[in-house]
Structure 1
Amino acid sequence: MYRILRGLAYKYFSDEEAVILFLILVTGTVFIIWFGAMLAPVIGSLIVAFILQGLVTRLNTIGVPEGIAILSVFLVFLGVLVGFMFGLLPLIWTQLSTLAGEAPRIIGELQSYLELLPEEYPHIISAQAVSSLYQQVNTEVGHMTQWLVSFSLSSIPDLVALLIYIVLVPILVFFFLKDRELLLGAISRLLPPQRPMMLKIWHEVNLQCANYVRGKALEILIVGGSTYIAFKLLGVPYAALLSLLVGLSVVIPYIGAAVVTIPVAVIALFAFGWGTHFIWVMVIYGIIQALDGNVLVPVLFSEVNNLHPVVIIVSVLFFGGIWGLWGVFFAIPLATMLKAVFSAWPVKDSFPSTAPDQM
C-alpha cells in the first residue's frame, strides 16, 4: 500500500507547481462551500465584472481610453440594473401574482381536459391516475398561492439583504473593473515566480470561460427578448414571465428548453384553446428554439471547446446539486476548467525506482 501511494504521489505530485495548484483548488472549493453564502455579493460582483471586462476590452481595442471605457460600461450596467429592478421585476411579480389568482380557473379547465383522457384512451390512462394527477397539481398550486400570500411577511429579512446587495454589488463591480490589474498583480505575488502550468491553465480557462459566460449572458438576453416580443405580438398572457423562463432555460442545455415548453404550452392552451392561435404560438416558440440551437449558439460559442453531452449533463447535475442555480449556470465553465487542469497536469511516465517493494 505504501509503495502504491508513494508511486501515485511521484507520478502526479512530483512537480512543486502541481502541489501548489492542488492546494489552491482544494482550499478554494472548501472556502466557497463554507463561506459562499456569506460572500455572495463579492462572488456575484466578480462574475459581473468578469462579464463586463469583455466590453471594456472591446472598447480599448477601438481606441477608447481605459478610464472612459470602464466608466461607460459601468453606466450601462447601472442602467440595465435599474431597468430590471424598476421595470421588468415589478411586471414579472404582477404577472406571477395574477397567474396565482387565476390558478383555480386554470385547474378547473385542466380537470375538464383530463377527464376526457380516460374516455378517449382507456387502455393507456385510467380514471384513478387522472384523479391522482389532478390532486397533485391542485396541491402544488395551493402551495404556490400560499407562498405568494405569505411572501411579504416571511421574506422581510431577505428583502433587507437584497437591498444591501443592490448597494454593494455595483460598488464592488466598479472597483473590480477599475483596479483589475492591481488586484491580479497582488494575487500573482502570492504564487511561485515560475508557474508555466498555472499560466497555461489560466489562459485556457480565461478564454473558454469568458467566451462561454459572456456568450450565455447575451444568449439569455436575445432569446428572452425575442420571446417577449413574439408573445406580446401574439397576445399571449404573462408574456414577461414566460419570456423570463424561456431566457433562463438556455442555462441548462438539453433540459431547460424541454421543461419550459410545458408552461408555455399550458398557458397558451388555456388562453386560446386548441386551435389555430395556439398552433401559431407553439410554431413561433419552436422557431425561436430552433434558431437558438442552430444559429445563435454556433455563432456565440464558436471558440468554446465542445464537451460531450454526457459530460455536460453530469456537470449540470453535480455542480447544481452543490451550488444550486449558480452551479447550474457555471457547470460548463467549471467542467472546462477541470478539463484544462487535467490536460495541463504534469504526469511522470514511471514510478520512482527507489520506491520500496513492500510495506
Structure 2
Amino acid sequence: MNTNVYIHIPTTTIFRIVAAVVALIFVFLMRDIIMLLLFAIVIAAAVDPFATKMENKGIPRIVGLLVVYLLFFLGVTSFFWVLVPPLAIELTDFTANFPVYANGLVEVLSRYGITPDNPAFSTLPNYIDKLTENLTQLVPTITGVFTDVVGRGFQIITVFLASFYLALQRDGEEKFLRMLSPETEDPYIVDLWKRAQKKIGQWLQGQVVLAVLIGVATYVGLTVIGVKYALILSIIAGMLEIVPIVGPIATAIIAMVVAFFQAPAKSVLVGLFFLILQQLEGNILVPLIFRKVLGLHPVIVIFALLIGLRLGGVGGMLLAVPMAAVLTELFGDFSSGKIKV
C-alpha cells in the first residue's frame, strides 16, 4: 500500500527564508560599506554624550560636536607628532642591536646545556635570522601602514562625516535605526540600542583611561629601572590593555625578555614592577574606573577580538567589542524570553 506524504510549507515561511538568504548575500557583497556604516554609528554613539552635555549647558549642539571632533583630531595629530619620531628611533636601534641580544641568548642557553649539539639549538640560528629579517622590515612596514591610512583618506573622511551628521541631531543614531527597522520592531530595536550603547560607552571610556594610565606607569617604571625602549614597551602595554588577562601578562613577558638581554638583574626588577602594577590595577584602578560599568565578560572580549581580527582585520577588531555588546544584550533577551523566534 502506497501512502503519499505531503509536506506543506507556508508561503510566508518560504518568503522569510528567501529574504534571509538575499539579506545574507547583500551583507556579504556590501560588507565593506556596512563596516564603514557601523564605524560611523559607533563613533556617533561615542561623541553623542559629550555633545548632549554641552547642549544641556546652552552650547549649540553643532558647536559642541565641532569642539569634540577638533579635540580628537588635535589629540591624534599630537600623538603622532610627539611619539612617532622617538618611536622610530627606538625601533631602529632595537633592530640594529638585535643580533647582539640574540648572541646573548645563545650564551645563556649554552650555560644550561643547550649547545650546538642539541637538536633544539640547531634550529635556533634559523629563527634568529628570520626574526632579524622581520625586524629590519618593521620600520618600513609601519611607514606603509601610515601610507595606507592616507590612501584610505576618503573612507576615513566619509566615516567621520557620516558620524557627524548622525550625532548632529539628539538621538540621531536612534532615528537612523528606526528608519532601517520594521515599524513593529521600532520600540525593541531602540531599547536594545540604548542598552548596548550604554555598555559600549562605559567600556570604551574605561579602557581608554586604563590604557593611558598603564602606558604612562609602564614608561615611568621602566625608565626608572633603566630599561631601554621604554617608549615602545609602554605603547605596547597600553594597546594590550584591551585584551583582558592575556594582554598584561604578554606585556610583562616582553618587557622582562628585553630587560634580560640588557642585564639579567633588570629582568627581575621588571618582573617585580609588573607584579606590583598588576596588583594596583586589579585591586584599585579597575574597580575605581569600572565601578559603574555593566561590563563584558573578559572571555567574551577575547573571543570577540579574535573573531573580529579573523573576519575583518584591524577594522574588525575595532568593531568587535561594540558588536559583542549588542549580541550579549540580544542573547540575554532570548534567554529571558523577552523576544521569541
Query: TM-score range with shorter-chain normalisation?
Result: 0.7 to 0.9
Counterpart of 1:334? 323
1:241-286 deviation per Cα after TM superposition (whole angstroms, max 9, x unaligned): 1111000111111222222223211221222x122x4433332233
Select 2:79's aligned residue among 54, 76, 84. Answer: 84
Deviating more after overlay: 45-54 vs 68-77: 45-54
> How high is the sequence identity, in percent, across the aligned residues?
22
Amino acid at match of 1:261: A
Whether the 8 Å contact between 1:52 and 1:73 is mirrored in structure 2 is yes
Whether the 8 Å contact between 1:249 and 1:260 is mirrored in structure 2 is yes
Tell me the distance in 2 between the aligned counterparts of 1:23 and 1:210: 31
- Tell me, which stretches of 5 or more residues in structure 1 are unaligned? 14-18, 349-359
Tell me the distance in 2 between the aligned counterparts of 1:148 and 1:318: 27
Counterpart of 2:66? 71
Select 1:185's aligned residue among 135, 150, 175. Answer: 175
Tell me the distance in 1 between the aligned counterparts of 2:8 and 2:261: 65
Q: Is 1:158 aligned to residue 148 of structure 2?
A: yes
Tell me the distance in 2 between the aligned counterparts of 1:138 and 1:337: 45
Select 1:202's aligned residue among 184, 190, 193. Answer: 193
Amino acid at match of 1:324: G
Shift in alpha-carbon separation, 1:37–1:269, aligned structure 2, 3 A? farther
Alignment of 1:303-314 (within 5 A): 303-314=292-303
SS at match of 1:218: helix
Shift in alpha-carbon separation, 1:28–1:329, aligned structure 2, 3 A? farther
Counterpart of 2:100? 105
Tell me the distance in 2 between the aligned counterparts of 1:88 and 1:347: 51
Tell me the distance in 2 between the aligned counterparts of 1:50 and 1:188: 15
Amino acid at match of 1:94: I
Counterpart of 1:266? 257
Amino acid at match of 2:108: Y
Shift in alpha-carbon separation, 1:234–1:171, aligned structure 2, 3 A? farther
Counterpart of 1:351? none
Quote how far apart the aligned CAs of 1:116 are: 1.5
Tell me the distance in 2 between the aligned counterparts of 1:197 and 1:3: 34
Counterpart of 2:245? 254
Select 1:212's aligned residue among 171, 181, 203. Answer: 203
Alignment of 1:32-181 (within 5 A): 34-35=29-30, 37=32, 44=39, 46-60=41-55, 64-118=59-113, 127-148=118-139, 158=148, 160-161=150-151, 174-179=164-169, 181=171
Q: Of the two structures, which has the highest relative contact order with CA contacts closer than 8 Å and spacing of 6 or more?
A: 1
Tell me the distance in 1 between the aligned counterparts of 2:9 and 2:279: 51
1:277-320 deviation per Cα after TM superposition (whole angstroms, max 9, x unaligned): 44333322332233223322223333444555544443333333
Whether the 8 Å contact between 1:201 and 1:344 is mirrored in structure 2 is no
Whether the 8 Å contact between 1:115 and 1:127 is mirrored in structure 2 is no
> What TM-score does the superposition give when structure 1 sets the normalisation length?
0.74
Select 2:235's aligned residue among 244, 266, 280. Answer: 244
Shift in alpha-carbon separation, 1:293–1:131, aligned structure 2, 3 A? farther
Quote how far apart the aligned CAs of 1:77 are: 1.0
Shift in alpha-carbon separation, 1:2–1:304, aligned structure 2, 3 A? farther
Whether the 8 Å contact between 2:257 and 2:267 is mirrored in structure 1 is no
Counterpart of 1:347? 340
Whether the 8 Å contact between 2:222 and 2:230 is mirrored in structure 1 is yes
Whether the 8 Å contact between 1:212 and 1:333 is mirrored in structure 2 is no
Shift in alpha-carbon separation, 1:82–1:310, aligned structure 2, 3 A? closer
Tell me the distance in 2 between the aligned counterparts of 1:4 and 1:219: 58
Tell me the distance in 2 between the aligned counterparts of 1:127 and 1:198: 63
SS at match of 1:302: coil
What is the RMSD computed on CA atoms of the aligned residues?
A: 4.0
1:112-148 deviation per Cα after TM superposition (whole angstroms, max 9, x unaligned): 11221226xx9xxx83213324532332222321454
Amino acid at match of 2:247: G
Quote how far apart the aligned CAs of 1:205 are: 0.8
Deviating more after overlay: 67-76 vs 239-248: 67-76
How many correspondences in the alignment?
A: 329
Counterpart of 1:299? 288
Tell me the distance in 2 between the aligned counterparts of 1:175 and 1:94: 40
Counterpart of 1:352? none
Tell me the distance in 2 between the aligned counterparts of 1:303 and 1:23: 38
Shift in alpha-carbon separation, 1:132–1:166, aligned structure 2, 3 A? same
- Tell me, which stretches of 5 or more residues in structure 2 are unaligned? none
1:78-114 deviation per Cα after TM superposition (whole angstroms, max 9, x unaligned): 2201112211122222221221111111111121112
